[in-house]
Structure 1
Amino acid sequence: MKVKDQNLLKNLDLINFWEPFDREIPTMRVGAREILVDLKKKQGEVKINSDIVKGVAPKEFTKPFVFSFNTTNQREALLPLFEAMRDMAELISENSDFTDELLPDAYLKSEYLKYSSKMMGWLYSFKGRDREVFRSRYYNFYRRLGQYNYYHNAFQRSMRTVKAYIASNDHSGLSQVGFVAARRAGIPTIYIQHASVSENFPPLSADIAFLDGEDAKEKYLAAGATKTKIHLVGSLKYDPYLKRREIDETKELVGVCIGMVYHEVDENFKLCEALEKAGTPFCLRFHPLMDEAVQKSFTDRGWEISDKEEKAPDFILRCGSIVSGDSNILLEAIILKRQPIYFASTGVSIDYYGFVEQEICKRACLTFGEVISQLSEEFDLTYHRQKAKRYNDTLGTENEGKSTELVLGILRTAIPQI
C-alpha cells in the first residue's frame, strides 16, 4: 500500500492510533472472504439504486465559510460563531436534525466502491495492531470514504469561494472527514474545541485551533508535533449563559448525572434514595444513550428527570451542585458558578480529566455517603473557579463571556474577508 493511502485511512479516523482500541472495537475481525462478499453485496445495492446514485448532484459551496457539526455538543460549541457569521456561513452535516441535505447510503457505497481494488492490498499491508483495527472497522469505511470523495471534490470545485472549513472535535465522523477533504483541496482549516481534552487525543492538524485553555494546549502539544497556530479563547458556548441573571443566584437543587462509562448504576440509585430520605431536592440527568431499562428503574420511583431536550448549561443553572462521574459536565458546573462533586461510583477514582488533581473538585467521593457528606460542607467557589482557568482561559478576566468576539477578532486578522 502506498504511504499516501495509509495516511488517508489514518486521517479519516478509519485506522485510528489514539483511541483505546481494545475497549472500543468489537471482537469481530473480517478476512479476505468477508471483504469480497461485502464488495459484491454493495455492487448489487448500488445497481438496484442507480437512480438514487445518479440523482446526487456534484456540490459547489456558495458561502466562504463551511461549518460542520454532527452532534449536539458540536453544534453548541460552534453555534455562537455560526450565527455571528450566518450570512457568510454554510453547513454540512450527517445529522438529520441539523440538515435536510443528507447523502444517500447508496451514493456513499458507490463512491466507496472506487476503492474496491485497493481493499485486499489494505488488508495485507497493515501489520500487527493496525491490521486488527482495519479488520474491525472495515464495515465503517464506506461511509467515510464516500463522504471524503464527495466533499473533497466539492472543496476543489469551490476553491475560489471557500475561505475556510470550521469544525469541532471528536476527531471522527464527518467533522474529521471535512478536515481531511478541505486540507487536501488546499482550503484553510479551523478547529474549535468543544469538550475537555485527554492524553488519548491525536495531535492538532488544522491551520488554526481555538482552545479553551492551557490544559488543552499542553495535552495537544504532548500528543505530537504540530504546525497549528493555537489561540486560547475560553469556550464560545458559555457566552450567553455567563451573561444570564441566574448565574449568581443560589440554588438548592442537586443535579445527579449518570453516564455510560465509569458509572455504577446501583450506587447512584442509593445516592438518590439517600437524597430523597434527607428531603434534598434533586434531578437526574442521563446520558442520551443510556439504556431505557436502567432509566425506568429511576423514573418508576417518581424522581425528577431532566428532559432529553434540555441543554446541559440550562440544567446546570437550575442546580446548586452537580454530581457526576468522569464527565465534562463537572467543568461546565464550575464555569457556570455551581459546585462540582466528583462521584467515582465504581469505588475507584479514575479522574480521567484531572478535575480532582487540578482542584476543580474538592476530592473524589467513592461512595454515595461521601457525596452526601460533601454536599453538607462549605464550598469555596472563588478558589475552585480560579483553578478552572487552566481549562477556560477567560474565566475571571475582562473577556469572560466574550469568547465569540475574541475568535471573530482573530479570524478578521487571519482572514480579512470576514
Structure 2
Amino acid sequence: MPRNSKRSTSIRFRIARSTVNYFRLIYQTFNLDIFELNPTASYPEFEKGLLATLKPYRRPHAFLPRTLGFAAAIARSAKSVFENARPIPFNANQPLFVASTTNQKLAIRPIFDEMTTDSFWFDEQCKECVSTHANRLRIPFIPLVMLKALLSKGYRRKSFRHSVATYCEIHGTYLAFRLAFASSRPSCIVISNDHSAFFRTLEQAARHSNIPTIYVQHACVAEHFPPLNFDYALLDGQDAAEKYANKASRSKVFLVGISKYSKSENESRWTGSPKRIGLCCNALDQTASTIEIITTIQKSLPDFEIHLRLHPSTPASEVDKLIRKCPAGSVVRNDAKTVNSFAFCKSVDVIICGPSSMMLEAAMAETPVITVETDSNTDVYGFQKHGLCQTATSAHDLSNLIADIETRDRGAFRKAISYFCEGFNSPSRPQASSLAATLIENISNRQQIPTNWKQSKKHGWWRYSSNEPELEAETTA
C-alpha cells in the first residue's frame, strides 16, 4: 500500500476514534445520576440519620429558594463566559491529592508529606480553574436539571428546594475534570470526602477516565453514610470497615489508622488529679443545657477550670451570647478557629462533649471523655457502645464522674480506641501516614500490594502485619 494511502487511513482512524470518544463523553455526561452524586440532599437516610437524630431538621419549603438557585446558577454561568479560563494545572503521571475543608486537609496532608515520589496538591488555584470551566460547560445541561426537577418525585423532588445550585454544578464539574484528565492524566487520585457532590463527581470522572481513586477517611463514619465507590479505601479502623461492609461497597479496604495522629506526640493524660475541663459544644447543643452543666460543675467542683470550645462554624456573636449567659468568670474561651483540636484535647484533663469526632480526638490524646445523656444526644458513631466514653445521666452525675475519673480502667480505654484507630496499641507499627503513602505509591506505579499487608478471609479487608502482637490491656491497679 502506498505511503500516502497509509497516512490517510491513519488520519481517518484517528478522526473516527476522536468522534466516538466525543460522543461517548457527551452520552456519559447526559446520563449522570445527579441524585446518586449528591446523596447528602437526595438520600432520605441522611436526614433520618445524623441530622434527624441530633436535632429536628427543617428544609426550606418555599418556591423562592428553588427559583433563586436556578437564577444564581445561570448568572454564574453567564459571567464565566467573559472570564479568562486558564488550563487546570495538573501534573501528568503523578498522584493528585484533593481536599477542601480543614479536616480533609489534615487527613491527607501528612500522607502527602510522606510521599517519596513527586505528587500534586489540588490547591485553591486549581479549584478556581475547575469552577470557571465548570460554569461554562454546564450551560447546555441546566435545562436538563430543570427537567429532572419537574419529573422527580418524593424526597428527590424536595431536595431541589435546597440543592438546586449543587445539581446545576454536577455536569459542568464532570466535564471539566474529564477534559483536564484527557490532556494531563494523574496516575491516581487521593480524595478525602465520600459523600459531597464535588468529590463524588470527581470520582465518577476519574473512573470513566480509568484513573484509580483512593479514599482516605477524614472523620468518623455513621451508619447512614452511602456505600464507597472508590477503587481503594484507606480507613481509620475496624469500626469504619464494619459500617461500610454492610453497604455493598466496591472498594478494596485497607485499615491504615488515622494519618493525622502522630504517636510521637502522644502522652498519658492520666497523671495527677484533673483540674482542667474541656467543654465542647456545637450549634446542635441546647444553650440552657450547656449553662446548666457549667453552673453545676462550678458549684460542685469550684477548683476546676472550664475551657469552653464551640464548633468553628459557630458565629462569633453566638459565642459571645453564650459566654454572657454563663456565670461571671466561670469559663475560659478556647477559639476553635485558631487552636488545633488535638492540641486543645492535650491541654485539658477531661473532655465533655456530645457525639462528634472530638470524642475520638480526645481519646487519642489519652484524655478521658464524658458525654451527657439527653433526648437529642444519640450515639450515632458508636462511641458509647464500644466504651470510648463514659455517660452521665445528669449534670450532677457528670460532676461525680469527673471527680472519679482517675479510677477508670486505662487498659479498657486504650482497647476501645484501637477499635476506631487501627494500630493504636502497637508501639512499633509504622505511622499511619507512612503506611498510607507507601500504598498510594504502589497503586500509582501499578505495583503489587506490599507483602506485610494481609487480607482477612472472613471480612475481606486488609491489615498491616508487623509480626508484633497488640499490647495487652493495662490496668490502673
Q: TM over 0.5: same fold?
A: yes
The alpha carbon displacement at 1:74 in A equals 0.5
Q: 2:259 aligns with which of 220, 227, 236?
A: 236
Shift of 1:232: 0.6
CA distance in 2, matches of 1:319, 1:34: 46
Cα distance in 2 between the residues matched to 1:12 and 1:334:
32
Distance in 2 between residues matched to 1:408 and 1:47, nearest whole Å: 42
Indicate whether 1:51 and 2:82 are aligned: yes
Match of 1:284, as an amino acid?
L
Q: How do 1:354-373 and structure 2 match up within 5 A?
A: 354-362=382-390, 364-373=391-400
Larger Rg: 2
1:258 aligns to what? 281
* Contact 1:30–1:138, Cα closer than 8 Å, also in 2: no
In the alignment, structure 2 segments of 5+ residues that lack a partner are: 1-26, 448-477
Q: Please state how far the C-alpha of 1:404 moved relative to its aligned partner.
A: 1.2
Asked whether the equivalents of residues 168 and 193 of structure 1 are also in contact (C-alpha less than 8 Å), the reply is: yes
Q: Letter of the aligned partner of 2:288 in structure 1? A: D
Preserved CA contact (<8 Å) 1:70 1:174: no
Aligned to 1:74: 104
**TM-fit CA distance, 1:107:** 5.3
The match for 2:358 is 329
In structure 2, what is the equivalent of residue 202 of structure 1? Answer: 226
Aligned equivalent of 1:274: 296
Which of 204, 222, 243 does residue 219 from structure 1 map onto?
A: 243
In 2, the alpha carbon distance for the partners of 1:129 and 1:3 equals 23
Q: 1:315 aligns with which of 339, 344, 356?
A: 344
The residue aligned with 1:129 is: 155
Give me the TM-score of the superposition, normalised by structure 1: 0.85
Identity over aligned pairs, percent? 22
Q: 1:194 is paired with a residue of what secondary structure?
A: coil
Structure 2: how far apart are the matches of 1:2 and 1:187? 16
Coordinate RMSD, CA, aligned: 3.1
Contact between 1:313 and 1:332, CA under 8 Å: does it hold in 2?
yes
Which of 138, 143, 159 pairs up with 1:112?
138
CA distance in 1, matches of 2:386, 2:79: 57
Partner Cα distance (1:384, 1:158) in 2: 48
Give 1:350's match in structure 2, choosing from 362, 374, 378: 378
Partner amino acid, structure 2, of 1:354:
G
Tell me, yes or no, if the aligned pair for 1:347 and 1:366 is still in contact at 8 Å.
Answer: no
Report if aligned partners of 2:308, 2:334 keep a CA contact under 8 Å in 1: yes
Match of 1:410 among 439, 451, 454: 439
- Cα displacement string for residues 212-244 of structure 1 (whole angstroms, at most 9, x for unaligned residues): 11110111111x2222110011100112xx212
For 2:309 and 2:66, the matched residues in 1 are separated by 41
Asked if residue 166 in structure 1 is aligned to residue 190 in structure 2, the reply is yes
Q: Deviations over 1:125-162 (max 9, x none)?
A: 32322222234421332344433322222123222xx1
TM-score norm. by structure 2 comes to: 0.75
Q: Residue 305 of structure 1: which of 317, 333, 358 is its match? A: 333
Bigger shift: residues 146-155 or 205-214 = 146-155
**Which position in structure 2 is the counterpart of 1:28?**
61
Residues 152, 181 of structure 1: 8 Å contact kept: yes
Decide whether aligned partners of structure 1 residues 343 and 145 sit closer, same or farther in structure 2, where only a CA change above 3 A counts.
farther
* Mean Cα deviation higher: 333-342 or 7-16: 7-16
- 1:296 Cα offset (Å): 1.1
1:174: Cα distance to partner? 3.2
Q: Is the CA contact (8 Å cut-off) linking 2:287 and 2:322 kept in structure 1?
A: no
Q: Is the 8 A contact 1:12 1:180 kept in 2?
A: no
2:459 aligned residue:
none
Unaligned runs of 5+ in 1: none
Cα deviation, 1:292-332, whole Å, max 9, x if unaligned, reads 34311344444211122111101011111110011111122
Residue among 296, 308, 312 paired with 2:320 = 296
